[in-house]
């Protein structure tokens, strides 16, 4: 699908609030624009974003056509234990793009 970028601290202390950022390169075509042939360009957007921290969902969002290209998401969570953060974007066609990052909590 597309290129993803995620930013997660490499280390944190137990109970520390950590900032997480994620972006995906995607045109987010609304379906309302006309192409050079006068036909509507088919809609193709990222519909759903979710982040799991060590297997538990900590954040999710539903996107709509008004979201700009290359959607960027920033949120915070509490560091509880070392593990993986897994990011998942799903588009209109049901295609899924994933990325992950590890955090060491002490």
Q: Count Cβ atoms within 10 A of the Cβ of residue 29 and give its class: 0-12 exposed, 13-18 middle, 19 or more buried.
A: middle
User: Residue 89: which domain range?
Assistant: 4-31+40-105
Encoded tokens for 19 = 């900032």
Q: Count Cβ atoms within 10 A of the Cβ of residue 80 and give its class: 0-12 exposed, 13-18 middle, 19 or more buried.
A: middle
Per-residue model confidence (pLDDT) at position 67: 85
Could you list the pLDDT tens digit for every one of the 106 residues in the chain? 579 999 999 999 999 999 999 999 998 898 889 999 999 999 999 999 999 998 999 999 999 988 889 999 999 999 999 999 999 999 999 999 999 999 999 9
4-7 vs 46-53, strand pairing mode: unpaired
Per-residue model confidence (pLDDT) at position 1: 52
CATH, residue 56: 2.60.40.10
Domains of the chain: total: 1
């Amino acid at each position: 699908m597309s290129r993803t970028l995620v930013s997660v601290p490499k280390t944190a202390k137990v109970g520390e609030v950590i900032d997480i950022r994620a972006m995906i390169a995607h045109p987010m075509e609304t379906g309302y624009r006309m192409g050079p042939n006068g036909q509507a360009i088919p809609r193709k957007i990222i519909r759903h974003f979710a982040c799991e921290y060590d297997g538990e969902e900590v954040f999710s969002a539903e996107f709509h056509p008004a979201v700009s290209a290359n959607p960027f998401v920033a949120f915070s969570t509490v560091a509880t234990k070392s593990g993986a953060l897994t990011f998942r974007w799903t588009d209109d066609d049901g295609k899924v793009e994933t990325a992950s990052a590890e955090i060491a909590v002490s």
